[in-house]
Structure 1
Amino acid sequence: MVRMDDLQVFVTTVEAGSFSAAARQLDISPALASGAVQRLERSLGIRLFVRSTRKLRLSDDGQRYLPHARQVLEALSEGELALADGREEIAGPLRLSMPSDLGRNLLLPWLDEFQAAHPRIELQLRLSDQVADFFSDRLDAGIRYGQLADSSLVALPLAANNRRILCAAPAYLARHGAPRTPEDLTQHNCLRYMMGDLTHERWSFHTEHGVKAVMVAGDRTSDDADVVRRWAVAGLGVVFKSQLDVRADLEAGRLVELFPRAWGQPTPLHLVCAHRQSLTPVVQQLRAFLVQRLQALGD
C-alpha cells in the first residue's frame, strides 16, 4: 500500500533535486528520504529515479507518475483545509512578500478575493524583487520563483511547471525582426534584470539539441522586474520573463512569444515559510487558494 508520507518525500525530492536537499526541507535524514522512495518504488513495482554517483533524475515511469502523486497530495491538503475551515474562522495578520511584477499584475486581485472571503485577515504585503529575510521582516510566508538558495526554508509548490519565456513587442519585432535561435540574441537589445550586484544576463534555453546558454547585452537594466516588463511592452527590447508575469501581455497582443514554450527555462513558483510551524491555517488556506487559481490559468 502506498503511504502518503512516501509520496511527499518523492515529490519533494523531485522539486529539490536530491535526497539530501529533500531531507533538509522535510527535516528528516537523507537515509530516511532515500528509504521512503525505495519503499514507494517497491509498492508500485517501478523505478521512479535513475540513480548515479553524480546525478539523480526521474525515470520515464517517474515522469508519468509525478503528476498523479502531486494530485493525490493536493487533494489530501485540500481536504484537511476544508475540515479546518469548517472548524474555525481564520483571522489575524498575514504578512507576505512577493515579486513586484507577479504581485502587482496577477496576485493582487486574487488576494482581494481571498481577503473578501476571510474578512478578519489583516493583509500586509511586501512587494519587492529582493530576497526578503523572514526573520528580520517578520514574514509569515513569501512567494518566490526558482530553487531556493537557503535549503533550511520550507518551500511548497504553487506552479511547479512554470517557465521563463522569451518575448518582445510587435513594434520591436517590426524594426529588428525576431530571433530564430538563442545565438541570434547577441544581435538584439536584451532587457535585463538585476538583483543586488548580480545581473541576469546568462539566458538558458532547453532546445531539442540540449541546453543553450547565451550571454546577452542591452542598453537597459533594472532591479524591478515590472520595469523590465514595461520596457518590453514599450518596444524597447527583448525580455526573458516568467510566463506568469507576461500572461496578460501575451493575451492582449502587447508581447509576442518568440521561441517554443518548451525551450523556456524552468522557473517553479513556491510559497515559502521559515519553518513548518509557520504553516498556520491561514497560510495553508492561502496556498490552496493560489494553487486553485494558478491551475485554472491552464498554462
Structure 2
Amino acid sequence: MLDRLTSMKIFIKVVELGSFAAVAQRLTLSPQMVAKHIEALEHHLGARLLHRTTRRQSLTETGRLYCEQCRLVLKGADRADSLAANTLGTPRGTLSVSVPVTFGRTVFLPFLHDFQKRYPEVQVQLSLTDQLVHPTMDGHEAVIRIGKLDTDLTAISRPLTPYRRVICATQTYLEKHGIPDMPEDLTAHQCLVYENAGGPVTTWHFSRGSVTRAVTISGKTISNDSSVLRSAALAGDGILLGYEQALLPEIRSKSLVRLLPQWTVPDRPMHLLYNAGPVMAPKLRVFVTELQQAFPT
C-alpha cells in the first residue's frame, strides 16, 4: 500500500510540473512509480484527478478541488511535525517574566539562580513590578500575580504557594508603645502603610477561627515599596504587615517580633499566568514545571 501523504505530494508536483516524466526526474523516481501514486489516489477517491494526454496532464474539476485540499493537508502535517519537534527540543532562548517586587527579590531570585543552572541556554528577562501586568499584552510570556484573578482572564493560570503575611515590629518600638493584644489595638499604633495603584491600603484583615476583624490603620510612613516599609520597621518606626518569607530571617534573629500570634492575616492567592499557544515552547514548559514544583499549593 502506498503512503497517501507521499501520493499527495507527488500529485501536487504533477500539477506544478505538468507531466509524470518531469516529476520522475525531479524526485528521482520512475515515471511508472509516479503513475502508480496518482492511480492509487484515484482508486481511493473513486474519481479521476487528471486528464491524461501523451504530452501533458490537466486537472479535472475533482482534481482541482482535491489539489487545494492536499496543499492544506500537507501544510498541516508540516506544522504538526514542527510543533512536535519544538516541544521535544532543548529549552533555549529568552523568556520574559514579570514578578511582584517583594516576592521577586526575596524568594524568586534564589529559584531563578537554580533554574538557570539547570537550563543554561534559557535567558530570563526579569521585570519586578507590583503593577497589574497582563501576559502577552504587556510583552511578557509568564507573569506571577498576587491576589484574586479576573473572572474574564483568558490566560492559563496555575496556582502557586499562597502569599502569607505576618504582623511584626521591633522590640524597641513595642517597649515604647506597648504590645497590641487584639487587632483593634492597632488603631492606636503607628502602622507602616503600603500603597498600591489604588492608593494607601489602610484596612488590615484578621481571622481567628470563625471570627473576623477588619481594622482601619494609619501611620506616618506610606510607601509603594515593601523594602522601604521593612527598613522603617527595623528602624523602630512602626508595625509592619509584610510577606512572611521575606521577614523570616529578621523574625528568627529576633530583630522583629511577631505580633498577634493567635490571629492570622488571610493568605492572598498567587498564580502563574501564561499563554502557551497551540504547543508550549520548551523554555516556557520547563519554567512552568519547575515553578510549580518549587512553590506547590
| TM-score, normalised by the number of residues in structure 2 | 0.64
Cα distance between partner residues in 1 of 2:278 and 2:212: 39
Partner of 2:160: 158
One-letter identity of the residue aligned with 1:102:
F
CA distance in 2, matches of 1:292, 1:194: 31
C-alpha separation between the residues in 1 aligned to 2:139 and 2:124? 13
Q: What is aligned with 1:188?
A: 189
**1:124–1:235 CA distance, 2 compared to 1 (3 A):** same
Question: In the aligned structure 2, how far is the partner of 1:191 from the partner of 1:125?
Answer: 28
Between Structure 1 and Structure 2, how many residues are aligned?
A: 212
Contact 1:167 1:240 in 2 (8 A): yes
Within-5 A mapping of 1:39-118: 87-118=88-119
Equivalent-residue separation in structure 2 for 1:195 and 1:277 (angstroms) = 35
Note the C-alpha offset of 1:199. 1.5
Q: Please state how far the C-alpha of 1:245 moved relative to its aligned partner.
A: 2.7
CA contact (8 A) 1:170 1:255 kept: yes
Query: How far 1:138 sits from its partner (Å)?
Result: 0.7
Aligned to 2:199: 198
C-alpha contact (below 8 Å) 1:134/1:141 kept by paired residues:
yes
Which residue type is aligned with residue 119 of structure 1? Answer: P
The letter of the residue matching 2:183 is P
Letter in 2 for 1:256: V
Match of 1:155, as an amino acid? S
State the superposition RMSD in angstroms: 2.7
Cα deviation for residue 103 of structure 1 reads 1.0
CA distance in 1, matches of 2:101, 2:141: 18
Q: Which residue of 2 aligns with 1:52?
A: none
Partner in structure 1 of residue 172 of structure 2 = 171
Any idea what the Cα deviations from partners look like across 1:238-284, whole Å, max 9, x if unmatched? 11122223223223322222123761212122212256669543334
Q: Gapped runs of 5+ residues in structure 2? A: 1-84
For normalisation by structure 1, the TM-score amounts to 0.63
Q: Per-residue deviation at 1:201?
A: 1.0
* Structure 1: runs of 5 or more not aligned: 1-83
Amino acid at match of 1:236: D
- Higher mean alpha-carbon deviation, 191-200 vs 253-262, is at 253-262
In 2, the alpha carbon distance for the partners of 1:151 and 1:169 equals 43
Q: Note if 1:213 corresponds to 2:177.
A: no
| Cα deviation, residue 236, structure 1 | 1.2
SS at match of 1:244: helix
Q: In 2, Cα distance between the equivalents of 1:129 and 1:279?
A: 26
CA distance in 2, matches of 1:274, 1:171: 49
8 Å CA contact 2:88–2:282 kept in 1: the answer is no
In the alignment, which residue of structure 1 is the partner of 2:13?
A: none
Please state whether the residue corresponding to 2:136 is helix, strand or coil: coil
Classify the secondary structure of the residue corresponding to 1:263. coil
Secondary structure (helix, strand or coil) at the match of 1:134 reads coil
CA distance in 1, matches of 2:241, 2:278: 36
Q: 8 Å contact 2:90–2:282 — kept in the other structure?
A: no
Alignment of 1:231-242 (within 5 A): 231-242=232-243
Task: Tell me the CA shift for residue 163 of structure 1.
Answer: 2.3
| Deviates further, 286-295 or 88-97 | 286-295
Aligned 8 A contact 1:179 1:185 in 2? yes
**Separation in 2, partners of 1:121, 1:232:** 38
Sequence identity of aligned pairs in percent? Answer: 32
Q: Within 2, Cα distance between the matches of 1:186 and 1:254?
A: 23
Q: Which structure's CA Rg is the greater one?
A: 2
1:229 pairs with 2:230: yes
Contact 1:165 1:261 in 2 (8 A): no
Corresponding residue for residue 61 of structure 1: none
The code of the aligned residue for 1:181 comes to M
CA contact (8 A) 1:90 1:281 kept: yes
CA displacement at 1:183 relative to structure 2:
0.1
Determine the C-alpha separation between the residues in 1 that align with 2:262 and 2:215: 17
Measure the CA separation in 1 of the matches of 2:261 and 2:223. Answer: 26
Relative distance call for 1:220 and 1:156 in structure 2 (3 A) is same
Q: Is the 8 A contact 1:98 1:126 kept in 2?
A: yes
Amino acid at match of 2:123: E
